[in-house]
Amino acid sequence: MLYFTIEILGTIAFTLSGVLAAMHKKLDPFGIFIIGFVTALGGGTLRDLILGVQPVFWLVDLSYMYVIVISVLLGMVFRNQLRYLRSSLFLFDTLGIGLFTMVGLEKGLAAGLEPIMCVAIGTITASFGGVIRDILCNEIPIIFRKEIYATACIVGGVSYFLLKLTPLREEWVFAIPIVIVILIRLLAVKYRLSLPTIYKSEK
């Protein structure tokens, strides 16, 4: 139940981040739905394809489609309130990567993968919906910029396996990495932390 709840919350968060990005580009309602849809399900779809899961998860469980449709409608109805929150796109995207990192990691564990591959699957699940969203909205994906994004997912995934070595209850071992991913992303943006680049700044 905890796992499913986290997956649904992540779907809502990523759908809304896609809706906000689409409305910023002034797309029509169909375009808004498509961007919200691929943002929410793009990473998980790629994950299932990599793991050889057929059919992919959202084709066999209509819950995700219902959640996306409702989230898109609410996003459009309350668009003025969401736009008023200047950081709403960033906040929804941050919540999404925190939640979906653990969703992907658990899928990797269920497939019997080694920890490092589970972390990779978690990062893919969390990041690639946003990559598709940004490409369709004609933006350079955040993951390809110097902003700390995928790095936060990797740190969160690694922390999960470290926490499993402690006597903490399973719920805490699952929840703390989500908080770590979200906090790293929030702090990185607040204090403008970024990864170093190999290029010298032009004068």
What local confidence, expressed as pLDDT, does residue 198 receive?
67
pLDDT of 80: 81
Q: Look at residue 16 and tell me whether its pLDDT is greater than 90.
A: yes
Convert the pLDDT of each residue in 44-62 to its tens digit: 999 999 999 999 999 999 9
Closest CA relative to residue 149, chosen from 186, 107, 177: 186
pLDDT tens per residue across span 134-159: 999 999 998 887 778 999 999 999 99
User: Chain-centre distance of CA 23, in angstroms?
Assistant: 19
Establish how many alpha carbons lie within 13 A of residue 198's alpha carbon, considering only the half-sphere containing its beta carbon: 0
- When pLDDT is averaged across residues 62-86 and rounded to a whole number, the result is 87
- What are the backbone angles phi and psi of residue 28, rounded to the nearest 5°? -80, 170
Secondary structure of the chain as H, E, C letters: CHHHHHHHHHHHHHHHHHHHHHHHCCCCHHHHHHHHHHHHHHHHHHHHHHHCCCCCHHHHCCHHHHHHHHHHHHHHHCHHHHHHCCCHHHHHHHHHHHHHHHHHHHHHHHCCCCHHHHHHHHHHHHHHHHHHHHHHCCCCCHHHCCECCHHHHHHHHHHHHHHCCCCCCHHHHHHHHHHHHHHHHHHHHHCCCECCCCCCCCC
In this structure, which amino acid lies at residue 91? L
State the Cα–Cα distance between residues 141 and 170, nearest whole angstrom.
34
Q: Which residues of 37-57 are buried (b: 16+ CB within 10 A; e: fewer)?
A: bbbbbbbbbbbbebbebeeeb
Given this model, what pLDDT does residue 41 score?
A: 97
Average pLDDT, the chain: 91
Integer Cα distance of 144 and 130 in angstroms? 11
Least confident range of 54-63, 95-104, 191-200: 191-200
Q: What is the pLDDT of residue 125?
A: 97
pLDDT of the residue at 13: 93
